[in-house]
Structure 1
Amino acid sequence: MIQRDYLIIGGGIGGASACEGVRRHDKRGSVTLVGAEVFPPYKRWILSKDFLREKDPHPKKLLEPSEAWYEKYKIETRFGTVVTQFNIDRRLAVLANGETIEFNKACLAMGSRPVRPPVAGTSLGNVIYLRTIRDALALKEMATHEKGIMVVGGGLLACEAAASLRMMKLKVGLMHRDSYLLNRYIDPDTGRWLTDYFAKH
């Protein structure tokens, strides 16, 4: 069994920020960061923009903080690892490899997952849910072989991905269940203007 003062679960920016916060207030406490992805925390919001459009994207450009930061501040990292059991009463977490971590304090920063529509065909090989570096690379690869791509969603990520794919000279369709794009963020008049703008381009 491993004992840690702090256990942070989640390999996104939330997990990285939690590590930074711990080190601002506690320079010596033992910290372990566990993340399911093999990559250290990175800036996901760039995946649908520059990273998708670059001819030769480098995942290391997205890292924040850098890999050296974790070593400098003595933060143990377990990337490519998932927590299969978590018991807050006993303060224990079990990893997929069977290792057990006993912790004093824990932070759950797993983030969100894309919504999978309850319709037929969403598990086919040509359907990509854009969340990770691997997803973005798969979409980029698809874009080199396809003439057109349908983007499902009307939020910020979907709009950014659609715009990037259009800039890559693909024919792009945008499917959204509301009457205008970004309906959760902007008023109807602006939303309709934006929807018309996308349709014209």
Structure 2
Amino acid sequence: MPEIDATFRGPASEAQLQAAEREFGFPLPEILREVYRDTDGQPWGVLTGCLIGMRLLPLEESLTVVRGVRDFYSEMPEFAGDIVSGSLPPDAVQGVGSHPRWWPFAMDGGGGTLCVDFAPGPAGRMGQVMGSGDGRLNTVVVAWTVAGFFGWYGEQLQANVVVNRLPSGEPHLELRHPQRPFFLDSLPHLVKAGELPRA
């Protein structure tokens, strides 16, 4: 879609990627690095998210989120994390609303994020992709790997994504089944149907 393609920023440089990884403290998964080499996300204010309505975050914006969470943890450890009720699958994600070792790479208009989890719960896996935020009760593991997530998303684009229009006229990508304005709101239904790429 040319309207979505036009929102992408230019590529991130290898120096930018290495600087982001140094500050974050972990190397990013190679497939996510490949995405950044193609485009350094979508700028603030873009309503047309390329990841089922979620905007791909530029490296610097992801780092800004990480810095804010890290500062909150260091300044008010007794309140850090905004404890939530749990995760799907159970214990796969730490029972907190945010964590300085989560790399946010996509965000929706309601404050929800897709993150790569570098501090999984006891039943989780290092590098899993999870959806969190925006007051939802459960944090959901979308895929056990970033490669698994992007492979699944490619399949969804072919078979299960529809294009709706926002009131502004901008295109908005949504899943056909189940159809929800925000992707993260679809996750409990996808979990129940066994349609997430946890392999």
Task: Sort the TM-score into its range (normalised by shorter chain).
Answer: under 0.3
* TM-score (ref. length: structure 2): 0.22
Which structure would you say has the larger Rg?
Answer: 1
Bigger relative contact order, structure 1 or 2 (CA pairs below 8 A, ≥6 apart): 1
* TM-score (ref. length: structure 1): 0.22
